[in-house]
């Protein structure tokens, strides 16, 4: 029994939705159309597992970049996640409400700061410290991991904190009634219950770390070779695109789009993982 | 429900107003036809600062003309000139045969290429062969060069599309490739900053950009100075080029003519470049 | 006790980053700094052209992304039934929202700047940013609309309202905090973005005079000043201004959310 007055807004929204879809589809299609031919030409395994990236000589192997992205992200998670969980426990369970209301906006602010500022800060403080105390040029996977850890802290902290605050108070009260201490309650009851939310937050943080470009260009050193230690300079999938896209043409450009495809696939896997983690509750 | 209804009218109206305002502001600025009196230069990050200074002076003389200068690297400049994304492309290296087929190049100045190290580095002189060996990875430690510093050499280079890097490769490396472990930075300034901070680093930048934070080493016994570039004894030099797809005409021609004029050459000389029929610095 | 000290240490560290930038940059922010255009490659003068450029690019992005995003979200929630297709669409929107911004930059550079001959311009930059924040706005709007209690809808229908009237009078006001949050998140992302902007809006220092002018946004200006070592003073000043801008955006977002949430109750 749809009145005519209903059809107009519905068609309007349909048009809007279709426009949005076509734009987003355009991007996806564009990336694939540009990227797939070079993967086909070079061969999937040669592209993804090839060790040599030298476009001027026709080598398009992105494995060093994959290793770079993976190690930097892994490092960020190893450094950042425990710290973030500690902070969120502190905020959710121990901080007085006034302090929490002061700190939360500060963390929100930190999450919005441009990555170039973090990269610059890292260049001034972290890189020289690594160079002077640990050796190597300082521009390294370690520097990248530390900076990325700092950058994903706001994301993980806020989501983990929200997850913990969203737990039914009954859980905590029940544990106290059984005689558990505060810390025991946190460890055995609250953390496991908030696990799926915390995991989703971590995956979101990982997504941000994988996608980061500018800060990483500034502190990672961008060497094309496969890194052999965390003190070695390296290049990630994103920085590879960022450095070379201004002047790449022909096959080189297609290879950058192909790198974009790889990134898209990685994000989709992460998203699927996040949805699975949330659903497992 | 009443509260929500009142909220709705005020807010919907105000949101629509804001949008209409934004839209009209944007549309009105878009409706101005694209200024035919404006040109874009794009390309080499080495040439960019000088182009910007020239553009500033030129625009002071011709207030109705707009000049925009964009970076990206020499290869990006060649690409932009070829695709007409830029009116004039900037390059800090000579064109190869393929590129010369599609582009017209005007040399606006010459620039020296300095190999730099940290000021505390005791090395004063290197041969071209040694520099090449360092960059290819043959020589990996400073003490192999007869130096007390027992440190691994941190090799710094520019990105692939950089004209500075291409010039360095053709003048120093020849057919040998720069090692893939070399650190890559995306501008002269970044290379200089890195070498200024790291006692074990070596890099190459525009001669004009060498300052007190780094030390330019002598090559084959010749000091890296402007005079030596002019008299030809210092061999690491490269041309700064303005590239156009067709014979320059209109505003582009005006600007290029200005760059080649006495005034333009004086500006470039003041900044440390070398121009045709060298005008002595003021 | 360990938690206390670890947490405070970390938070102090994070805040020290902000304080460091602000302490070095705030002295540079004078009235001249804000109202003069840069000269001598940015060694002197202010950053007015960058401020204007940032605002223009962000404005273009919001004008494009908000109507499209909100409209699409409404269509998805109100006019379609929950099915496998909507699940796929939602998953795609999530994935596209997560794509690294550099990929959007690459697309924008090849498509808007070169292919459509828009050149390096506010328009190219704004369109690229708009497309980048579109999935996020779709997602946050959809979540906000879904969060409206079904009771509101039922009451409106039982009072004889059509779908359109319900949407206008009930859903939009209730979902407004969520929608605004999404839009403001998008604004924040536009202001902070560098990699995608530098190759679509360009890096020209001149004051942009139309949508087709190239421009250098503040984040890009900071990057160039800091990297090339042109003027560390102005670099810090630009960074400090960016931090203040982000702070203002966050405060506005919080005010909006609190005001609507309080009233809606």
Selection from C235, C237, C208, C215 nearest residue C223 by Cα: C235
Of the partner residues C114, C169, C214, the one whose CB lies closest to the CB of residue B40 = C214
Give domain limits for chain B: 2-110+239-278, 112-230
Total number of domains in chain A: 1
What pLDDT shows up at residue C134? 93
pLDDT of residue B11: 56
Whole-angstrom distance, CA of residue A53 vs CA of residue A66? 12
Answer yes or no: are the C-beta atoms of B141 and B241 closer than 8 Å. Answer: no
Q: State whether B159 and A243 contact (CB < 8 Å).
A: yes
B97: Cβ–Cβ under 8 A, 6 or more apart, which residues?
A: none
Residue range B112-230, CATH number? 3.40.190.10
The C-alpha of C84 sits at a distance from chain B's nearest C-alpha, in angstroms, of 33
C205 — contact with chain B (CB < 8 Å)? yes
Residue A97: inside a domain: yes
B6 has a pLDDT exceeding 50: no
pLDDT in tens, C180-192: 888 988 999 999 9
Query: pTM for the complete prediction?
Result: 0.89
Q: Which domain holds residue A252?
A: 61-165+192-279
pLDDT digits (tens, 9 = 90+) for B208-235: 889 899 999 999 888 988 888 888 888 8
Flag whether pLDDT at B20 surpasses 80.
Answer: no
Q: Per-residue pLDDT averaged across A248-270, rounded?
A: 91
Strands (E) in chain B, as ranges, are 38-43, 66-72, 88-91, 104-117, 125-126, 154-158, 183-185, 201-206, 215-216, 218-219, 237-244
Between positions 133 and 192 of C, the ones with CB within 8 A of A are 134-135, 138, 162-164, 167, 188, 191-192
3-class secondary structure, B256: helix
Q: Using the beta-carbon criterion (under 8 Å), do C227 and B32 form an inter-chain contact?
A: no
pLDDT in tens, C144-175: 888 888 888 788 778 877 777 777 777 887 88
CATH number at residue A236: 1.10.3720.10
Q: Hey, is the C-beta of A232 within 8 angstroms of any chain B C-beta? A: yes
CB of B8 less than 8 A from some CB of C: yes
Q: Which residue of C has its CA nearest to A35?
A: C107
pLDDT in tens, A30-55: 999 999 999 999 889 889 999 999 88
Q: pLDDT value at position A238?
A: 95
| C-alpha span between B153 and A17 (Å, rounded) | 57
Cross-chain Cβ contact A224/B185 below 8 Å: no
* CATH fold for domain B2-110+239-278: D-Maltodextrin-Binding Protein; domain 2 (3.40.190)
From C223, which residue of chain B is nearest by alpha-carbon distance? B190
Q: How far is B253 from chain A (nearest CA, A)?
A: 25
Task: Inform me whether the C-beta atom of residue A47 falls under 8 Å from chain C C-beta atoms.
Answer: no
Return the pLDDT at C262.
55
**What confidence tens digit (pLDDT) does each residue in A142-183 have?**
999 999 999 999 999 988 888 888 888 888 888 888 887 877
Q: What's the average model confidence in pLDDT over B195-206? A: 94
Cβ-defined contact of A13 to C79 (cutoff 8 Å): yes
Averaged pLDDT score across all residues of chain C: 85
Q: What percent of chain B has pLDDT over 90?
A: 53
Touching subunits of A (3+ CB pairs, under 8 Å) are B, C
Is some CB atom of chain A closer than 8 A to the CB atom of C223?
yes
Chain A, nearest residue to B166 by Cα: A56
For the residues A255-259, what does the mean pLDDT come to?
A: 94
CA distance A115 to C192: 7
Question: How confident is the model over C15-44, as a mean pLDDT?
Answer: 85
Confidence of residue C1 (pLDDT cuts 50, 70, 90): low
Please check whether residue B197 touches C, CB under 8 A: no
Nearest neighbour of C4 by CB, restricted to A94, A213, A257: A94
The residue of chain A with its CA nearest to that of C184 is A112
Q: Please write the tens of the pLDDT for every residue from B67-107.
A: 999 888 899 999 999 988 899 999 999 998 989 999 999 99
CB contacts of A9 in chain C (<8 Å) are 163-164, 167
d(CA C33, CA C46): 4
pLDDT at C203: 87
Could you tell me if C100 lies within 8 Å of chain A, comparing CB atoms? Answer: yes
Site from C8, C9, C75 to mutate, A interface, most A CB atoms within 10 angstroms: C75
Separation in Å, CA of C98 to nearest CA in chain A = 6
A245 closest CB neighbour out of C11, C106, C243: C106
Is the pLDDT at A69 greater than 60, yes or no?
Answer: yes
How many domains are there within chain C?
1
Q: What is the mean pLDDT of chain B?
A: 85
A187 found inside a domain: no
Give which of A82, B190, B40 is closest to C124, Cα–Cα.
B40
> Which chain C positions have a beta carbon within 8 Å of B190's beta carbon?
227-228
Q: Are A264 and A256 in contact (CB under 8 A)?
A: no
Check if A212 contacts C (Cβ < 8 Å). yes
CATH number of the domain that residue C85 is part of = 1.10.3720.10
Domain ranges, residue C117: 2-262
User: What is the rounded CA–CA span in Å between residue C200 and residue C113?
Assistant: 6
Calpha distance C159→B76 (Å, rounded): 63
Q: Does B159 touch chain C (CB under 8 A)?
A: no
Q: Are B192 and B116 in contact (CB under 8 A)?
A: yes
Measured at the alpha carbon of residue A203, what is the angle toward residues A24 and A275, in degrees to the nearest 5? 65
Q: Which residues of B244-259 are buried (b: 16+ CB within 10 A; e: fewer)?
A: bbeebeebbebbbebb
Answer whether B40 sits within 8 Å of C204, measured CB to CB: yes
Residue C104: closest C-alpha in chain A: A27
Q: What six digits make up the tokens of C227?
A: 């990297």
């Amino acid at each position: 029994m749809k009145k005519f007055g209903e059809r107009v807004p519905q068609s309007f929204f349909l048009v809007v939705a279709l426009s949005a879809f076509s734009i987003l589809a355009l991007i996806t299609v564009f990336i694939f159309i540009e990227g797939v031919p070079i993967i086909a030409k070079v061969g999937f395994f040669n592209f993804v597992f090839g060790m040599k990236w030298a476009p001027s000589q026709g080598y398009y192997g992105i494995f060093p970049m994959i290793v770079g992205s993976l190690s930097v992200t892994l490092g960020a998670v190893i450094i950042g996640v425990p710290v973030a969980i500690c902070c969120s426990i502190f905020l959710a369970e121990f901080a007085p409400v006034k302090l929490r209301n002061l700190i939360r906006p500060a963390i929100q602010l930190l999450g919005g700061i441009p990555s170039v500022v973090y990269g610059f800060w890292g260049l001034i403080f972290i890189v020289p410290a690594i160079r002077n105390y640990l050796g190597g040029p300082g521009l390294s996977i370690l520097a990248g991991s530390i900076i990325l850890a700092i950058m994903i802290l706001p994301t993980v902290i806020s989501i983990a904190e929200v997850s913990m605050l969203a737990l039914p108070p009954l859980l905590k009260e029940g544990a106290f009634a059984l005689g558990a201490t505060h810390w025991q309650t946190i460890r055995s009851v609250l953390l496991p219950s908030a696990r799926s939310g915390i995991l989703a937050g971590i995956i979101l943080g990982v997504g941000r770390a994988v996608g980061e470009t500018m800060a990483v260009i500034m502190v990672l050193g961008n060497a094309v070779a496969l890194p052999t230690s965390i003190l070695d300079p390296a290049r990630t999938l994103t920085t590879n695109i960022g450095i070379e896209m201004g002047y790449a043409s022909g096959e080189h450009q297609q290879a950058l789009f192909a790198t974009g495809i790889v990134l898209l696939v990685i994000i989709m896997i992460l998203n699927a993982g996040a949805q699975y983690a949330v659903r497992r509750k | 429900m009443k509260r929500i209804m009142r909220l709705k009218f005020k807010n919907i109206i105000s949101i629509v107003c804001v949008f209409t305002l934004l839209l009209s502001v944007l549309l009105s600025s878009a409706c101005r036809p694209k200024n035919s009196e404006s040109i874009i230069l794009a390309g080499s990050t080495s040439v960019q600062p000088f182009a910007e200074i020239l553009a500033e002076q030129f625009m002071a003389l011709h207030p109705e003309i707009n000049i925009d200068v964009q970076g990206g690297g020499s290869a990006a400049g060649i690409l932009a000139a070829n695709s007409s994304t830029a009116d004039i492309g900037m390059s800090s290296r000579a064109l190869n045969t393929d590129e010369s087929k599609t582009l017209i190049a005007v040399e606006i100045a010459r620039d020296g290429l300095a190999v730099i190290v940290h000021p505390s580095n005791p090395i004063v002189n290197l041969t071209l062969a040694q520099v090449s060996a360092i960059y290819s990875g043959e020589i990996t430690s400073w003490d192999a060069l007869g130096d007390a510093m027992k440190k691994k050499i941190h090799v710094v280079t520019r990105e692939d599309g950089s004209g500075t890097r291409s010039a360095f490769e053709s003048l120093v490396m020849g057919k040998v490739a720069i090692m893939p472990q070399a650190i890559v930075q995306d501008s002269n300034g970044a290379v200089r900053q890195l070498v200024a901070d790291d006692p074990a680093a070596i890099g190459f930048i525009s001669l004009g950009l060498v300052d007190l934070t780094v030390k330019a080493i002598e090559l084959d016994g010749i000091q890296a100075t402007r005079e030596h570039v002019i008299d030809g004894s210092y061999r690491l030099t490269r041309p700064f080029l303005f590239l156009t797809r067709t014979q320059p005409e209109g505003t582009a021609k005006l600007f290029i003519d200005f760059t080649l004029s006495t005034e333009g050459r004086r500006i470039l000389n003041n900044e440390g470049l070398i121009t045709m029929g060298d005008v002595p610095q003021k | 006790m360990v938690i206390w000290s670890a947490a405070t240490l970390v938070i102090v560290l994070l805040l020290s980053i902000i304080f460091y930038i602000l302490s070095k940059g705030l002295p540079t922010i004078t009235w001249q700094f804000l109202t003069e255009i840069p000269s001598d490659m940015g060694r002197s003068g202010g950053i007015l052209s960058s401020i204007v450029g940032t605002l223009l690019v962000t404005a273009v992005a919001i004008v494009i992304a908000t109507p499209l995003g909100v409209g699409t979200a409404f269509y998805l929630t109100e006019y379609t039934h929950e099915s496998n297709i909507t699940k796929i669409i939602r998953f795609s929107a999530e994935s596209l929202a997560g794509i690294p911004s550099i990929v959007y930059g690459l697309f924008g550079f090849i498509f808007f700047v070169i292919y459509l001959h828009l050149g390096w311009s506010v328009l190219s930059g704004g369109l690229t940013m708009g497309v980048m924040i579109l999935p996020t706005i779709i997602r946050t709007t959809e979540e906000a609309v879904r969060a409206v209690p079904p009771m509101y809808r039922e009451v409106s229908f039982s009072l004889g309202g059509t779908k359109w009237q319900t949407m206008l009078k009930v859903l939009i006001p209730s979902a407004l905090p969520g929608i605004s949050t999404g839009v403001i998140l998008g604004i924040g992302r536009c202001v902070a973005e560098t990699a995608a902007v530098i190759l679509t809006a360009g890096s020209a220092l001149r004051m942009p005079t139309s949508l087709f002018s190239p421009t250098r946004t503040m984040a890009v200006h900071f990057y160039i000043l800091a990297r090339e070592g042109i003027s560390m003073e102005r670099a810090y000043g630009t960074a400090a201004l960016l931090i203040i801008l982000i702070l203002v955006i966050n405060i506005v977002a919080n005010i909006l959310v609190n005001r609507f949430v309080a009233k809606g109750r």
